[in-house]
A and B are shown apart, each in its own frame.
Chain A
Amino acid sequence: MVDLDNYEYETISTHVGDTGDFISIDNEKCNNCGRCLVICIKNLWKKKDGKIYIVPEYKSKCVECGSCALVCEPGAIDFSYPAGGTGVVYLKG
């Protein structure tokens, strides 16, 4: 069974095409609360030297739920969807 804290494994979700950049953070606005690190089911947000960033490979991993932007109180995270026809594809949603 899946470990409580270490749940990452291969699934059938695929990612297609070149999404372009669709998530960004404005570190000037960010208050380092760390809510984005907790909410992302794919653990794509990290903190290094007191600065929060999204991992560069997020474009091929993000499931486009948008919770990082919604949970961000100061509105530092900008989320828009990837280019049409690209990004996550759910086969059994």
Chain B
Amino acid sequence: MKEYDIIIVGAGPGGSMTAKVAAEKGLKTIFFERGRKPGEKNSSGTGLGPRMFRDFPEIMRQLTPDKCPSMREGKYQRSYFVDKDDKVGAILVTTPTNSMTYSPGKNTYDPSKYDKFITMNCYRSEFDPWLAEFATNAGAELKTSTLIKGLFKEEGKFAGVIDEKGEKYKAPMIIGADGAISTVAKSSGLRDKWHSEHITVVPQYDFHAPKENIEKVMGEETLAVWWGVNFPAAYQAFFNDGFHIGLGNWMTYWQHNPMYYVNRVINVPHMKNLIKRLDAKPREVQSHLLPWLPYPKNTHCDNVILIGDAGGFPCPLEAEGMYPAMVTGKVAAEVAVEAISAEDYSKAFLSQYDERWEHTSVGKEFEDGDVLWNVWKQLPFHATNMQWFVPLMTEIISAFFCWSEPHVVRIRQMLSAIKSMLPEAMPTLLEDVVPVLIRVLGDKLDTMLDPGQMMTAIPKLLNMLPDKKKKRRGA
């Protein structure tokens, strides 16, 4: 039986990060991958945000197109609002504004190109093996084509893992980096099965498009979200030679086959037109499970820590997964080093893991995880609420740029349309959206709603209203 200090099950971004940090800190490290190489079993939206470059500069600075040819960054993100007749009623394009303080430029291989961007996309089949090399270069042993079937115990404690051939690998620290269906979580008793509203299934297509068409048609655009009435919000991530189009929802959502909804998106006339202009062709059909939680619980027990998807760490708002996996992987490795030096692998000692990830950018996100998770659940994931949300957004965005009537008349028409939607929209706005605003504004809300300030503002506002003015003047 081979013995190690730390065993990591899974060689995705989280597992490789854990293995890299553990090996660098001198631990005898092994990490397992069930595929023939990392990344060949994974599908993903694959958007890497600027935080990746801030928090992992020593890695991300080395990411270049010769290593990941599909990589493509972009400054523009587009939201399409698609009505019940599959018509695009409004399009909103955004780009990092002046209030965005962090620019990843200096941590990329080409600062001029990578100044401020929304996301950088690249295929998992390229990114994952590239990242795993950092771990093997640091001295970690990578064992591929190996499926871990469970943990084994010695003297009542988890002592290592067993592979499909019955071979045992022993270590006092075991890290579950094995994704949504985590053998480590199950075998350690940390989780038997996800709650049905804590796990989503995400079907997607990969489309191929000639590189020159991507450049010509998409320009600096890298990401799109299709907010639809007839399908859950769909993402579209553009790569160097193609794009992913996919969507997700809880296990309880699907009235039709998940692909039915993806097919509805790609059959939206506006999308068909885009596909035609790109000369894009469907290349691969993929599907994966994606945990989506308000807060990760049961992240560790004696000898075991769960990271990334296995631990339920994807972003509570929109389920970004690779970044939280790498952050929690790094933290888990640091805690493992201390556990090994203290020779204390108890749940109590490993609770440092929670204390530490809670102080990272991932922890900050989960501080408000309950309201963020809920607002996504009530809007993009909610078939009925999207029936008013999409037309509401469409009215707001579209009315100002319309020359069919005098602008004031047009804005009144918009307000009247919104008013008619309010009875349906109000419960969700009050119960699910307002709590997010309250959380975001925090103490500032107190100041804004300060009675003194309101008392000075209200008469001024009233004076601006013509009817009120007239009434008070006795006209």
Contacts and interface: CB of A to CB of B under 8 A. Distances in A.
Contacts of A85: 34-36, 144-146
Contacts of A93: 39-44, 46, 123-125, 206, 284, 286
B266 interface: yes
B327 to A, nearest CB: 22
Given A41-B203, A90-B42, A13 B251 contact: no
A92 B163 contact: no
A84 B286 contact: no
Nearest to A73: B196
Contact of B286 (A9, A13, A66, A81): A13
A2 B257 contact: no
A90 B199 contact: no
A56 B196 CA distance: 28
Contacts of B438: none
Nearest to B192: A75
Most chain B Cβ neighbours within 10 Å, of A79, A83, A84: A84
B147 interface: yes
Contacts of A39: 201, 251, 254, 257-258
A7 B34 contact: no
A68 to B, nearest CB: 10
A38 B201 CA distance: 12
A55 interface: no
Given A70-B199, A85-B36, A41 B147 contact: no
A5 B267 CA distance: 12
Contacts of B145: 84-85
A92 B285 contact: no
A64 B263 CA distance: 21
Given A1-B267, A41-B259, A70 B201 contact: yes
B194 interface: yes
Nearest to B275: A1
A29 to B, nearest CB: 14
B201 A11 contact: no
The residue among A1, A4, A67, A85 with the most chain B CB atoms within 10 A of its own CB is A67
B272 interface: yes
Contacts of A35: 251
Q: Which of A16, A35, A71 has the most CB of B within 10 A?
A: A71
Contact of A7 (B39, B206, B263): B263
A1 B280 CA distance: 11
B266 to A, nearest CB: 6
Nearest to B264: A4
B284 A91 contact: yes
B161 to A, nearest CB: 13
A25 interface: no
Given A12-B283, A65-B201, A67-B289, A92 B260 contact: no
Interface string B115-145: 0000000011100000000000000000011
Interface string B144-166: 11110100000000000001100
Contacts of B284: 11-13, 90-93
A90 B257 contact: no
A90 B251 contact: no
A2 B265 CA distance: 11
A3 interface: yes
Interface in A10-26: 11-13, 16
Interface in B234-249: 239, 242
A65 to B, nearest CB: 4
A85 B146 CA distance: 7
A43 interface: yes
25 contacts: A1-B275, A2-B266, A2-B282, A13-B285, A39-B251, A41-B257, A41-B258, A41-B259, A41-B287, A63-B287, A66-B289, A67-B258, A69-B181, A70-B196, A71-B196, A80-B149, A83-B147, A83-B164, A84-B146, A84-B164, A85-B34, A85-B144, A85-B145, A92-B239, A93-B39
5 A-B pairs with the lowest CB-CB distances in the bound complex, closest first: A85-B145, A93-B43, A65-B287, A84-B147, A92-B206
Interface of A: 1-5, 7, 9, 11-13, 16, 35, 38-41, 43, 63-67, 69-71, 75, 79-85, 87-93
Given A84-B147, A89-B40, A92-B239, 16 more contacts: A4-B264, A13-B285, A41-B257, A65-B288, A67-B201, A70-B196, A70-B201, A81-B147, A83-B164, A85-B145, A89-B35, A90-B125, A92-B70, A92-B283, A93-B41, A93-B284
